[in-house]
Amino acid sequence: MTTAHLYKGYKPGQQVAHPTVSFELFPPRSASKLSSIWAGVDRLIAAAPDYVSVTYGASGAKVDTRDTSVRVLTRVLDRHPGLPAVSHLTCVGATRGQLAMTIRLLLRAGIRDFLALRGDPPAGQSEFEVVPGGLASAAELVALIREIAADTLPDGVGAGPNGAGADSAPNPKNYVSIAVAAYPASSGEYRRNDIAALLEKELAGADYAITQVFYDPDEYASLVRELTIAGGRLPIVPGIIPLTDLKRLNALEKIAGVTVPEEVSRTLQITDARERVAKSLRATLNLIDGVLAAGAPGVHLYTFNRPRPALDVVEYVRASGYRNGRMPKRGEIDTELVDLALHRLTPSN
């Protein structure tokens, strides 16, 4: 089964009884540092996520991590064969032919799940530029993945748009699931463009979307509502960053252009460790409460290879009763999680 099967029966805005929990993993910048991440990766996978995703390439970065990305993906598949591993793939710096070759190699390695992204400009470059013979959009990349998958794994092709539709594939194990990006923090003309892009990606054969950074659950709810009004049916999984590291959030603000809320910034500058952990954890859980109440089909946690904050969130989501389809009673859970987080707080977390 691939990740698309997890969102079968999704209805926009309707709360789900069993939201998915998944993690995004970040490969190291060089193969020599791979050994340093395995312990953290294993800790995350031990929490039994529904799937993991692995970032890929040099999009917006100074270092190309494509080789180490593939190593992380194949290790996950080898050691955890029942766990879907989603490979990020971007259009940056590659021709259509090069991307087709990469897709074939990933399929042959056992990858059946992709996150198709246009990609950010490389560091030092302000605008995205299509290389000669390259692809200009994530929708084009979705269509290419569908094309290569149909040629390579014909028994995994569904009957939906451009070969999508996991339930109609003759061999569901060979169905290729494709996720795309969504941007809840956009507004105005940018929001209209984002909705149009999501519709294009859905038409090209995308199965679901995962959002980029945002801090307000109302932004997520409005994105889902506007996409639904426009005729889109893509399940949108909110990407959640545990609100624990101000330096990390400020760096993301520069990359993604999404301002860190002043309240979050103040919280993460509190000097008392217990108060800081309690308030930052509560802010993260409030965000998760909001998106799940708005009908999010799951949460995708950006880990930055730091297991502890993500594991605290998973513990909450499962202990709170979401897995039983009811909203949580949070007071006691908050206290217990803060105690656990403080007990486990070490520089290596």
269 pLDDT above the threshold of 90:
yes
Q: What is the pLDDT of residue 30?
A: 63
pLDDT tens digits along 198-218:
999 999 999 999 999 999 999
Measured between alpha carbons, how far is 333 from 325 in angstroms, rounded to an integer? 17
Q: Which pLDDT band, with edges at 50, 70 and 90, does 317 fall under?
A: confident
Give φ, ψ of 85 to 5 degrees. -120, 120
Helix/strand/coil percentages in the chain, nearest 5: 50, 10, 40
Which three-class secondary structure state does DSSP give residue 134?
strand
Q: What's the mean pLDDT when you consider all of the chain?
A: 86
Say if residues 144 and 90 touch (Cβ distance below 8 Å): no
In b/e form, how buried is each residue of 284-302, taking b as 16+ CB within 10 angstroms? bbebbbbbbebbbbbbbbb
Q: What is the pLDDT of residue 60?
A: 45
Largest CA distance in the chain: 58
State which H helix or E strand residue 208 sits in: strand 208-211
47 pLDDT above the threshold of 70:
yes
330 pLDDT above the threshold of 80:
no
Q: What is the pLDDT of residue 243?
A: 93
Q: Which pLDDT band, with edges at 50, 70 and 90, does 28 fall under?
A: confident
- Among 62-76, 176-190, 209-223, 262-276, the minimum mean pLDDT is found in 62-76
Mean pLDDT of 143-170: 91
Q: How many alpha carbons lie under 13 Å from residue 121 in its C-beta half-sphere?
A: 8
Mean pLDDT of 283-301: 93
Say if residues 196 and 171 touch (Cβ distance below 8 Å): no
Measured between alpha carbons, how far is 93 from 131 in angstroms, rounded to an integer? 6
Measured between alpha carbons, how far is 39 from 109 in angstroms, rounded to an integer? 23
Q: What is the pLDDT of residue 334?
A: 54
Q: What is the pLDDT of residue 321?
A: 58
Mean pLDDT of 123-138: 84
Among candidate residues 190, 259, 253, the one with its CA nearest the CA of residue 226: 190
By the 10 Å C-beta count (0-12 exposed, 13-18 middle, 19+ buried), 305 is classed as middle
346 pLDDT above the threshold of 70:
no
Q: How many alpha carbons lie under 13 Å from residue 39 in its C-beta half-sphere?
A: 6
Mean pLDDT of 109-118: 96
Q: What is the pLDDT of residue 26?
A: 85
In b/e form, how buried is each residue of 82-102, taking b as 16+ CB within 10 angstroms? eebbbbbbbbbbbeeeebbeb
Mean pLDDT of 175-195: 96
Q: What is the pLDDT of residue 70?
A: 87
123 pLDDT above the threshold of 80:
no
Characterize the bridge pairing of strands 298-302 and 239-240.
Answer: parallel
pLDDT: which is higher, 127 or 250: 250
63 pLDDT above the threshold of 70:
no
Cβ-based neighbour number of residue 146 at 10 Å: 24
Q: Which pLDDT band, with edges at 50, 70 and 90, does 231 fall under?
A: very high
By the 10 Å C-beta count (0-12 exposed, 13-18 middle, 19+ buried), 174 is classed as middle
Cβ-based neighbour number of residue 105 at 10 Å: 11
Mean pLDDT of 306-322: 77
Q: Chain-centre distance of CA 125, in angstroms?
A: 24
Q: Which pLDDT band, with edges at 50, 70 and 90, does 58 fall under?
A: very low
pLDDT: which is higher, 116 or 345: 116
Q: What is the pLDDT of residue 314?
A: 84
- Kindly report the CATH class assigned to 3-258+295-305: alpha beta
Which three-class secondary structure state does DSSP give residue 116?
strand
- Among 222-226, 239-243, 254-258, the minimum mean pLDDT is found in 254-258
300 pLDDT above the threshold of 80:
yes
Q: What is the pLDDT of residue 258?
A: 93
High-pLDDT (> 70) share of the chain, %: 85
Measured between alpha carbons, how far is 219 from 313 in angstroms, rounded to an integer? 21
Q: What is the pLDDT of residue 57?
A: 59
Q: Which pLDDT band, with edges at 50, 70 and 90, does 21 fall under?
A: very high
Measured between alpha carbons, how far is 116 from 139 in angstroms, rounded to an integer? 8
323 pLDDT above the threshold of 50:
no
